[in-house]
């Protein structure tokens, strides 16, 4: 068991089921259970490495954060998302983060307004 284990730890190790969208050696992406658009997935690193939120990022996290971004591009291609998408990383309570495990929302399939929220 991991200290400060979250829902996402349990999803990564298969104890909680999820609908996989993408997976490689470093990244796991799955459909959001409360989608805000026709396509909405969460992209997470398989190993959190202390990265509970973007505010905890250090130089040591540079590679995994890059892999999360590249995964979004791969997912867009695989899902035939050709008209654009939005990526969102909520950070901290005021930023709307509800799970203390770095994760990126990928939202697509409809026009998305600005400002969000």
CATH number of the structural domain spanning residue 56 = 3.30.428.10
State yes or no: is 103 an active-site residue.
Answer: yes
Q: Tell me whether residue 2 is in a domain.
A: no
Spatial contact of 81 and 39, defined as CB atoms under 8 Å apart: yes
Task: Name the residue range of residue 69's domain.
Answer: 7-108
**Distance between start and end Cα atoms, the chain:** 35
| Full-model pTM | 0.95
Catalytic residue from among 9, 40, 103, 105: 103
pLDDT score of 3: 63
pLDDT of residue 117: 62
Flag whether 15 is in a domain: yes
User: Does residue 52 lie in a domain region?
Assistant: yes
pLDDT at 37: 96
Report yes or no on 36 lying in a domain: yes
Tally of domains in the chain? 1
On whether residue 57 sits in a domain, the answer given is: yes
Residue pLDDT tens, the chain, 117 long = 556 899 999 999 999 999 999 999 999 999 999 999 999 999 999 999 999 999 999 999 999 999 999 999 999 999 999 999 999 999 999 999 999 999 999 999 999 998 876
Task: Give residue 115's pLDDT.
Answer: 85
Contact, 109 vs 36, CB < 8 A?
no
Q: Where would I find the beta strands (DSSP E) of the chain?
A: 20-23, 27-31, 39-45, 85-88, 104-108
In a domain, 114, yes or no: no
Alpha helices for 1-117 (secondary structure H)? 7-12, 62-78
pLDDT of residue 46: 97
Query: Could you tell me if residue 116 is inside a domain?
Result: no
């Amino acid at each position: 068991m991991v200290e400060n284990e979250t829902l996402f730890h349990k999803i990564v190790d298969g104890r909680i089921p999820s609908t996989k969208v993408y997976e490689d050696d470093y990244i796991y992406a799955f459909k959001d259970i409360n989608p805000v658009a026709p396509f909405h997935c969460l992209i997470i690193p398989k190993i959190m490495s202390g990265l509970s939120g973007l505010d905890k990022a250090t130089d040591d996290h540079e590679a995994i954060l890059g892999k999360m971004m590249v995964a979004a591009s791969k997912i867009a291609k695989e899902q035939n998302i050709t008209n654009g998408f939005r990526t969102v990383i909520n950070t901290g309570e005021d930023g709307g983060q509800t799970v203390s495990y770095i994760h990126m929302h990928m939202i697509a399939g409809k026009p998305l307004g600005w400002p969000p929220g």
